[in-house]
Amino acid sequence: MSWDRRTAKQQAAAQASALRSQVVHAVGPFSPFWRDRLKALGRTAAQVSTRSALATLPAVGERDVCADGDPSGAAALVLQAGESGWALHAEGPRLRRAMASRVLRPGSYRSVVEADTRPTSYVFAGLGLRWPVASTRSDLDVVARAGARLWQVLGLTRDDVLVSALPLLPTAALQALQLGAMGAGSPAVFPGHTAADVAAVLQLVPATVLVLPAGDAATVLEDLDEAGAALATVRTVLLVGAPSEQERADVADALDRVGVTATVLAVHAPDGHRLLWGECPAGGNGFHTYPDLELVELVDPETGEAAAGPGELVLTQLGLRGSALLRWRTGDVAAAVETTPCPGCGRTVPRVVGVRRGALVPVLALRSGSRGVDLRAVAAALVGRADLTDWRVMVGPSPRDGADEVLLHVTPQDGQDPTDVVVAVARDVRDAAGLLPTQVVVADAGGLPAGPGLSRRLLRR
Ligand SMILES: [Zn+2]
């Protein structure tokens, strides 16, 4: 049965076995971060190797791994297996193959072990900070194979020719597109993001797929048109990074203006992940995931507890070594994870709908400068406090001068001195999130702001 048409039962069985092997044979023994964390929680890897048991582990994100925003903490995510450790924990069939070749061809044993254990390639991730994500040789194979699947989901074939206008940065999305094109057998050119360079490539290569960054796709498209780029053969525009409705509408307008008729499809790699998800050409059915390579959940962004949705997208990677992520908080907010067959293409894989990329770590133009503010860390300093009955966090531009602000509205418990509460809250938020709130406002229970937001208490102006 192909990867995308399995029944729920077949899918669950494949996922359960991949999860067990990832947790018991890879992450548990070889990830310094998870080894320490499991020990602190008093659990063994085997005890958390089923889906329901794994869900009892607290989800973690970049600030849990990189304390005080120090990116070197991310090294503790990288699996560290020597040859002897690998032989102790490798799965049976793989170990038997390697042991057989150890006798016959010693060099080949080493290469089997190293392909599985030695980080050889890095991309960078991070919302509030920038940290490296390591891949082994076998991880890159997984990324390439997932890329071949991505082509199927997007409705592309090896006859498609891809030209990218993405900046040449070491990101997971760029690496996944490069390896994916290779895995799918499509010609692909990545000349960088300078309009003249992309236009020059388009003169030489009749592209059927144009790759644009979701955030400023409309502008890039118009710059390309102005640079005289040959866009007439483009049939598909890929927007990288979970575009908002507004960004999609802007691209549709820009395509109209430059006179190109193309299907606009989104692809997205959540922060920390190495696989790109795509949507099928029917449109509107969300990102199609790879259930044998990842486990996708939603949690309440305020508390990290499991949530039906909307909630923060949390990922467990299966079959990826290098920097292996268990219950990783991506900072994306999603409306839901749908498990019914896709109404567009009939694939049975889980689909993530309504993704707002990096919504929980918005880049704010504060008066003190522009920076990513981790609202999960702000919430962590407020959840469950004995001195508050309730609170709200409001971020967004000030009506006075348009600069972004982080406002905390708090209702102190009866008998608490409001001034003491304001001081304590501001200090704890600074310690947890590395930033002082613009203002802490004391409000009655009925006077707390309401409105559209990322969760019940995290609001956007
Ligand atoms: Zn579909």
| Dist. CA 155 → ligand 1 center (Å) | 10
Distance from C-alpha of 336 to C-alpha of 354, rounded to nearest angstrom = 7
| Dist. CA 205 → ligand 1 center (Å) | 29
Name the nearest CA neighbour of 375 among 406, 402, 412, 347: 406
Name the nearest CA neighbour of 375 among 355, 360, 390: 360
| Band of pLDDT at residue 183, cut at 50, 70 and 90 | very high
The secondary structure of 67-134, three-state, reads HHHCHHHHHHHECCCCHHHHHHHCCHHHHHHHHHHHHHCHHHHHHHHHHHHCEEEEEEECCCCCEEEE
| Dist. CA 348 → ligand 1 center (Å) | 9
Cα dihedral sign, 335-338-342-347: positive
CATH 3.40.50.12780 residue spans of the chain: 137-291
Q: pTM of the entire structure?
A: 0.92
| Dist. CA 153 → ligand 1 center (Å) | 7
For residues 239 and 266, the answer to whether their CB atoms sit within 8 Å is yes
| Dist. CA 343 → ligand 1 center (Å) | 6
Distance from C-alpha of 83 to C-alpha of 78, rounded to nearest angstrom = 16
Q: What confidence score (pLDDT) does residue 214 get?
A: 97
| Dist. CA 261 → ligand 1 center (Å) | 21
| Dist. CA 344 → ligand 1 center (Å) | 5
| Dist. CA 316 → ligand 1 center (Å) | 22
Distance from C-alpha of 83 to C-alpha of 124, rounded to nearest angstrom = 27
pLDDT (tens digit, 9 = 90+) per residue, 345-374? Answer: 999 999 999 999 999 999 999 999 999 999
For residues 319 and 146, the answer to whether their CB atoms sit within 8 Å is no
| Dist. CA 159 → ligand 1 center (Å) | 21
Q: What confidence score (pLDDT) does residue 104 get?
A: 67
Distance from C-alpha of 334 to C-alpha of 204, rounded to nearest angstrom = 40
| Dist. CA 166 → ligand 1 center (Å) | 25
Question: Cα–chain-centroid distance for residue 331?
Answer: 7
Sheet holding 311-317, edge to edge: 294-299, 311-317, 328-334
Over residues 194-202, the mean pLDDT reads 98
| Dist. CA 285 → ligand 1 center (Å) | 6
Torsion of CA 371, 334, 267, 225, to 10 degrees: -60
Q: Please provide the DSSP assignment of 336-399 as one string.
A: EEE-SPPTTT---S-EEES-BTTTTS-EEEETTEEEE--HHHHHHTTTT-TTEEEEEEEEEE-T
Name the nearest CA neighbour of 258 among 212, 295, 290, 292: 212
One-letter amino acid at 107 equals G
In the predicted model, is pLDDT for residue 106 greater than 70?
A: no
- The share of the chain scoring above pLDDT 70, in percent, equals 93
Residues by chain with Cβ below 5 Å of ion ligand 1: 280, 285, 342, 344-345
Task: Please give the DSSP secondary-structure letter assigned to residue 413.
Answer: P
Burial class of 450 by CB neighbour count within 10 A (0 to 12, 13 to 18, 19+)? exposed
Distance from C-alpha of 43 to C-alpha of 37, rounded to nearest angstrom = 9
| Band of pLDDT at residue 133, cut at 50, 70 and 90 | very high
Instruction: Tell me which of 42-56, 67-81, 243-257, 416-430 is least confident.
Output: 67-81
Q: What is the CATH T-level fold of the domain 137-291, as seen in this structure?
A: Rossmann fold (3.40.50)
Classify 365 as helix, strand or coil: strand
Distance from C-alpha of 383 to C-alpha of 146, rounded to nearest angstrom = 38
| Dist. CA 279 → ligand 1 center (Å) | 6
Question: How far does the chain reach from its first CA to its final CA, in angstroms?
Answer: 48
Place of tokens 């998800």: 277
| Dist. CA 191 → ligand 1 center (Å) | 30
Q: Where are the beta strands (DSSP E) in 175-272?
A: 188-189, 209-213, 236-240, 263-268
Give the number of residues written for the chain. 461
In the predicted model, is pLDDT for residue 88 greater than 60?
A: no
Q: What confidence score (pLDDT) does residue 243 get?
A: 97
CATH 3.30.300.30 residue spans of the chain: 363-460
Distance from C-alpha of 308 to C-alpha of 355, rounded to nearest angstrom = 14
> Mean pLDDT score of the chain, rounded to an integer?
93
Q: What is the CATH T-level fold of the domain 363-460, as seen in this structure?
A: GMP Synthetase; Chain A, domain 3 (3.30.300)
pLDDT (tens digit, 9 = 90+) per residue, 301-341? Answer: 999 899 887 999 999 999 999 999 999 999 999 999 999 99
